[in-house]
Amino acid sequence: MAPDESAHEVPQPASTLDDPTYRTGITELIGILCYGEISACERLAEDATMAPQLATKAEIMAMMAAEWDHFEKLHERLQELVDDTYGFIEQFAPIFDRFHAQTRPSDWLEGLVKAYVGDGLAADFYREIAAYVDPETRELVLETLSGTGHSDFVVDAVRGAIEADPRVGGRLALWGRRLMGEALSQAQMVVAERDALSVVMVGGVDRPELGLPSLDLAGIGRMFARITESHAERMEKLGLDA
C-alpha cells in the first residue's frame, strides 16, 4: 500500500504539505491522535484507581506512561504545524468525550476490556490511515502505535474472571460489541465532520500528483472488514464471543 512515487510522470511538489487541503487534513489527523492520547491517559488513570492489586495498578500506570510518550512525539510534530497546539487539540475533545460518555465502564473488568479493545481498535484504524499519508507522517503514526506492551495481564485477568464466574463472559461479550459499535459510529462522525481529513483518506485532490494512494468505496469496505476481523480476534483472545 506504500505510494509508488516513481510511477508518476508529473512533477512532485517540494512537500505534500504544500497542498493546503492535505496539510489541513494531516494537521487534523495529528491533532486527533494527540487528544486521543491525552484521553487514553485520563481513562487509564481512572482505571488505575479501580485496580484491585498494586501490581495491576502498576501495569495500568505503565500503559499510561507509554501513551504519554506517544503524546509527546505527536505533540512535537504538531508544534511544527500550528502555533497554539493546545487550542488546536482542544477542538477534538468532543469526539473522545462522546465516546467515553457512551462507554463508561461500570467496574474494573469492563475498564480492562475497554482499554484492551479500545487501544486495539484505535491502533488498527490508525494503521489503516497510515497507508494514505506521506512517509514522514506515516512513520510518526506507526511509531506511536507500537503497543504499550503491557496487555498480556489484561488477557489473564479477563480469562481468570470468566473461569471464576462464567456469567461474566456473557456480560463482557456484550460490552465488547457495544465498544465496537460506538467506536465505528464515532469514526464515521469524524470523517463526516472533517472535510480535509476525509480528503486525506479518500482523495479528492490530485492524489497522483501528491504521490499518495487513495481509498475508493471498495477499499473502504475492505478496510472495515479488516478492522472487524482484528476486533473478533482480540475478543477471542480474551475468551469472549465477538
Would you tell me which residues interact with a copy of itself (CB under 8 A)? Answer: 38, 41-42, 45-46, 48-49, 53-55, 57-58, 61-62, 64-65, 68-69, 71-72, 75, 86, 89-90, 93
Min dist. Cβ of residue 4 to a copy of itself (A): 39
| For a copy of itself, the closer CB: 31 or 211 | 31
- Tell me the HSE value of 211 on the side-chain side, using a 13 A CA sphere: 17
Min dist. Cβ of residue 80 to a copy of itself (A): 17
Q: What does 11-38 look like in DSSP terms, one character per residue?
A: PPPS-GGGSHHHHHHHHHHHHHHHHHHH
CA dist 148 and 119 (Å) reads 9
Q: Could you identify the residue written with the cell 501495569?
A: 59
Min dist. Cβ of residue 73 to a copy of itself (A): 12
| For a copy of itself, the closer CB: 90 or 143 | 90
Min dist. Cβ of residue 20 to a copy of itself (A): 26
| Cell numbers representing residue 194 in the block | 472533517
| For a copy of itself, the closer CB: 68 or 108 | 68
- Tell me the HSE value of 71 on the side-chain side, using a 13 A CA sphere: 18
| For a copy of itself, the closer CB: 42 or 195 | 42
CA dist 118 and 124 (Å) reads 10
Min dist. Cβ of residue 29 to a copy of itself (A): 18
| For a copy of itself, the closer CB: 35 or 175 | 35
Contact 63, 44 (CB under 8 A): yes
DSSP state of 10: S
Judged by DSSP in three states, 135 sits in: helix
Q: Could you identify the residue written with the cell 469472549?
A: 240
Min dist. Cβ of residue 78 to a copy of itself (A): 12
Judged by DSSP in three states, 122 sits in: helix
| For a copy of itself, the closer CB: 16 or 85 | 85
| Cell numbers representing residue 8 in the block | 508518476
